[in-house]
Amino acid sequence: MPPLEHFLLVAAAIFSIGLYGALSRKNIITVFMSVELMFNAVNLTAIAFAKFLVPVWSNRFLFGSELSDSIKEASDIALSGQVLAIFIIAVAAAEIALGLAIVIAIYRNRGTIDITDIALMKK
């Protein structure tokens, strides 16, 4: 099994590539794709932490005093990182659906999806 640091480094690389894409592209859809890359990196980090760090806690709970309660609590704690990832996925799906609807509305009104041209608030 590769150590935790390797997963975190891959996630950091994907997040940085996503940030670079979100900051440096003209097309609004590419910006959205970069934001999705960043969401994926965050999910990867959450699950890597849930895998590597939380079982230490759950082991402590397992070897604690009341065994019957603590087994349940331990598995709950061990899985809460994955629950966080599920909520991130749901919110990301909501964000992309609404965002692309806004993109299509902008395209219909202004005929462009170049983010350097959509500068109504600057004028």
Task: Enumerate residues 20-79 that contact other proteins by CB under 8 A.
Answer: 20-27, 29-30, 32-34, 36-37, 40, 43-44, 47-48, 50-53, 55-56, 59, 75-76, 78-79
**Rounded (10°) CA dihedral 61, 65, 66, 72:** 0
Task: Indicate which single residue of 64, 67, 69, 80 sits in contact with other proteins (rule: CB under 8 A).
Answer: 80
| Planar angle of CA 112, 115, 120, nearest 5 degrees | 85
Rg from Cα positions in the chain: 20
| Among residues 70, 71, 82, 118, the one that binds other proteins under rule CB under 8 A | 82
CB of 73 to other proteins, least distance (A): 10
